[in-house]
Structure 1
Amino acid sequence: MHAAIDQIRLVAARFHSDYRFEASTMTALSSPVTIVNATGLHARPAANLVNVAKQYQSDIKLVFKGVEANAKSVVGVMGLDVSKGDQIQVKASGSDEDAAMKAVAAAIAGGCGEK
């Protein structure tokens, strides 16, 4: 089992530098994503982000300063209290974890629908 995990990590590192797999849980983890919203992830961008996350079956978490929040919960996202310029990571685990992690990270990098 560990050999298979190591092989997946090697392939992921070689071809997908924007994420990695955690060996113990086979979880996709994004590179740090910078919050671009002037007021951080307040209600509107948090709701937009949650709507993106809910399109996927995987369990999706946002990680900020060692704290994880459910990316499918507006209260969870807002509870991280991230501000403009903060960096967070997206962690996903499940059948569509790669697509989920990439979509949520892209939404964050793009300002969650705000201009």
Structure 2
Amino acid sequence: MRKESLTVRRQGFHVILAKQFTELAASFASEEIRVVWPARNIISDAKSILGVMALDVSAGDVLELTAEGPEEDRAVEALAALWSEHG
């Protein structure tokens, strides 16, 4: 399992970022890619736009991105890069 911390710097998952994030997550063969919000004990499927939007995170919140499967390293690296650029 691969894990990476993401800090929310802006408004969180707005519609465009959520769409890009979930489409990118869906492009990997990893069985499970999750966005975890430890402070609220919420786990969301990173491939689900509704799940990602429902997180309703704000600036300063810290999320964890986890992936398991054959492309877990590539998936986490790509999603973390997208987040660091737009999140």
Give the TM-score of the pair, scaled to structure 2.
Answer: 0.86
The residue aligned with 2:13 is 41
Identity of aligned residues (%): 33
Higher Cα Rg, which structure:
1
Q: Which amino acid aligns with 2:69?
A: G
Give the 4+ runs in structure 1 shifted more than 3 A. Answer: none
What is the alpha-carbon distance in structure 1 between the residues aligned to residue 49 and residue 43 of structure 2? 13
Which runs of 5 or more structure 1 residues have no equivalent in the other structure? 1-26
Q: Which amino acid aligns with 2:22?
A: V
Instruction: Determine which structure has greater relative contact order: mean sequence separation of CA pairs < 8 Å that are 6+ residues apart, divided by chain length.
Output: 2
Which runs of 5 or more structure 2 residues have no equivalent in the other structure? none
Q: Shift in Å at residue 101 of structure 1?
A: 1.1
Equivalences for residues 14-29 of structure 1 within 5 A:
27-29=1-3
CA RMSD of aligned residues (A): 1.3
Give the TM-score of the pair, scaled to structure 1.
Answer: 0.67
